[in-house]
Amino acid sequence: MKISIITVCKNAENAIERTLLSVVAQNCFCENIEYIVVDGASKDKTVEIIKQYSNKYPIKWLSEPDSGIYNAMNKAVQMTSGEIVYFLNAGDKLFDEKVISLVLKKFDGSDLDFLYTDILTCYSDNLSETKIKKFNQIDKYFLFRDCICHQASFYKRSVIEKFGGFNEKFKLTADYEMLLKIMADKSLKKEHLPITAAYYDISGISSTATDLVKEERTIIQKHFYSSFETFVYSSWLYQLIRRRLRKMGVKIYG
């Protein structure tokens, strides 16, 4: 079984190397990993760094203008040959050298369509201070308030193709829309794998452009949540009750 790891980037000379290093350090890199880097015509030294690593390792790469991150991600998916697809942004890095082999072991011989793990969040200028983010309690309420980020998401390539790729009309939240489609599709098998997959750099644009993210998420949620659900899940009282019940050990699934 092969996994296609994709890194999309632009003007990432200060971040791209740690991502490249974490991928080529995987203990199954040459055997089971196809690595694809799609650069958006960077003006800094990003392409130079990519070239240096592609001369040492089997890395497919492309540098050309694009219309946004999801256009780049869709182009990258078209370049893949692996059954599994994983996105690791410039600045992010895999947790250790065994992550991908553990993920492939879980997929191998199973009928899984979508696998999600835990991650560590950090800032690019301070990788020593991290916070673990677990995705072991996912329900409709969680997906209304939060998201399983793509650094924790492993897709069967056929699933991405089933939904026609990422919706490029969204600038920052097309992966959120894809996640809701996957979770709403009862024909797809989803599972949580309790390992830490990656360090997620939260200083990226999707974490800082909060107004646009909120606007796009509101548009997306209208297709997946009723007006009643939106009202309830937005209520501070409902949030308080859930927290209290969780502290009491009650399992709540919204």
Domain ranges within the chain, ordered by starting residue: 3-223
Higher pLDDT, 248 or 114: 114
Name which of 57, 72, 64, 58 is nearest 7 in CA terms: 72
> What does the angle CA 71 – CA 75 – CA 81 come to, to the nearest 5 degrees?
150
Q: Where are the beta strands (DSSP E) in 169-222?
A: 190-201
- 193-205 burial code (b ≥16 CB/10 A, e <16): bebbbbbbbbebe
Q: Is the dihedral of CA 54, 55, 57, 58 positive or negative?
A: positive
pLDDT-based confidence at residue 241 (cuts at 50, 70, 90): confident
Cβ-count burial 206-221 (b if 16+ within 10 Å, e if not)? beeeeeebeebbeebb
Distance of CA 165 to the CA centre of its chain: 14
Residue 188 has pLDDT above 90, yes or no: yes
Per residue in 59-102, pLDDT (tens digit) is 999 999 999 999 999 999 999 999 999 999 999 999 999 999 99
Architecture of domain 3-223: Alpha-Beta Complex (3.90)
The band of 252, judged by pLDDT with boundaries at 50, 70 and 90, is: low
pTM, full prediction:
0.92
Q: Beta 33-39 vs 59-63: how paired, if at all?
A: parallel
**Is the pLDDT reported for residue 127 higher than 70?**
no
SS3 37: strand
